[in-house]
Amino acid sequence: MRDNVREFVRCAAEAFALQGPVYEFGAYLPEGQEELADLRPLFPGQQYVGCDLRPGPGVNRVQDLAALTLADESAQTIVCVETLEHVFEARRAVEEMIRVLRPGGVLLVAAPLDFHIHDHPSDYWRLTPSCVTRLLAPLDAALVGWQGSSRFPHTVFGVAAKGPVHPRFVRGAGEFVRQMQKWSALAACKQHWQRRLKQWAARCLMTKSEHARRRDYFQIEFVLDLPKSPDWRHELLEMAQGEPHSGSRIDLA
C-alpha cells in the first residue's frame, strides 16, 4: 500500500465520521507492509472485518469480492483500496459491494493508474477517473478524484454514499478535500533533497509529458456529484464559494 492511499482512508474516516461495521476488501497484509497496510487503527472503536480472497494476516473472512456471501445491507462502511486492479470481474465486484452496503453507508475505493504491474496475486486492470465514476454511478452521491497529472494521474480515488444521503456528506466532502490538500502539500515539501536534485539534473532529458508527470505528482483534484434537490443548495453554494486551496480543487458536477 502506498502512503497516499493510507492517507486517503484516514482523511475519509475522519472527515465523514465513518461508522461500523467496517468491511475491508483486500485486507491481506503483505510481508513488509504490516504496519502501513493495516487500516484498522484508522477506525478506533468500530467493528472491523478484514476480507480477502486468501487467508493470512489481517484477514478475518475469506471472500471472493465478485461473489460475496455477505447479506444485503450488512456493512455501514466499505473500504476497497489497491484491490480492484487485482479482481478480474471488477465491475461485478463493485456491484457486490453496493449490494452489501447499508442505506446511508459509504464506500471508499482507490486504485492505481500510472503504476507498474504488480502481482498480489495477479494484476489485471487500470481504472481511470471516468471508469470509477461509472462504477459508482448506482450510488446516490459520489466524490471522485485523482492525484498526479490530469492527463495521466498515478492514483484514482472514490468516495460514494448510498441514499438517503445526509447533508453531512457535503460538509464532509469539503473537509476531506482540505485534509488531502494539506497532506499533499506537506508531502511535496518533504521530498528528499537527493530526489529533488536528481529530478533537476534529469530535466534536460525529460519529455514534456514526463516533466508534467513529475511537476504535478502531488496535484489533487476532485469532482463532487450530488442530488440536485433544493435542500442541497445552501451547502453546494457554500462549498463552491469556499476558500481556494493551492494545488487542489473541488468541482461540482
Q: What is the pLDDT of residues 76-99, one digit of tens each?
A: 999 999 999 999 999 999 999 999
Residue 105 per-residue DSSP state? E
Phi/psi region, residue 24 (left: phi>0; alpha: psi -120 to 50; beta: rest), is beta
pLDDT cut 90: percent of the chain above it: 59
Residue 85: what pLDDT?
94
Indicate whether 209 pLDDT > 80. no
CA separation, residue 253 to residues 143, 159, 222 (Å): 10, 14, 10
Residue 65: what pLDDT?
96
Torsion of CA 64, 83, 127, 41, to 10 degrees: 130
The CATH label, of 3.40.50.150, 3.40.50.2300, 3.40.50.300, 3.40.50.620, for the domain at 3-252 is: 3.40.50.150
Q: Write down the pTM of the prediction.
A: 0.85
Name the phi and psi angles at 127, rounded to 5. -105, 125
C-alpha cell at 212: 508534467
User: How do the domains of the chain map onto residue ranges?
Assistant: 3-252
Tell whether omega for the bond before 30 is within 30 degrees of 0, i.e. cis: no
Residue 234: what pLDDT?
60
**240: pLDDT confidence band, cut at 50, 70 and 90?**
very low
Which pLDDT tens digit goes with each residue over 113-153? 988 988 777 999 999 999 999 999 999 999 999 999 888 99
Which of these, 98, 100, 85, 96, lies nearest to 26 by C-alpha position?
85
Task: Give the 3-state secondary structure of 140-177.
Answer: CEEEEEEECCCCCCCEEEEEEECCCCCCHHHHHHHHHH
**166: pLDDT confidence band, cut at 50, 70 and 90?**
confident
Residue 222 per-residue DSSP state? E
Indicate whether 112 pLDDT > 80. yes
**14: pLDDT confidence band, cut at 50, 70 and 90?**
very high
**247: pLDDT confidence band, cut at 50, 70 and 90?**
very low
CA separation, residue 154 to residues 54, 72, 130, 218, 249 (Å): 27, 33, 14, 10, 17
Residue 224: what pLDDT?
87
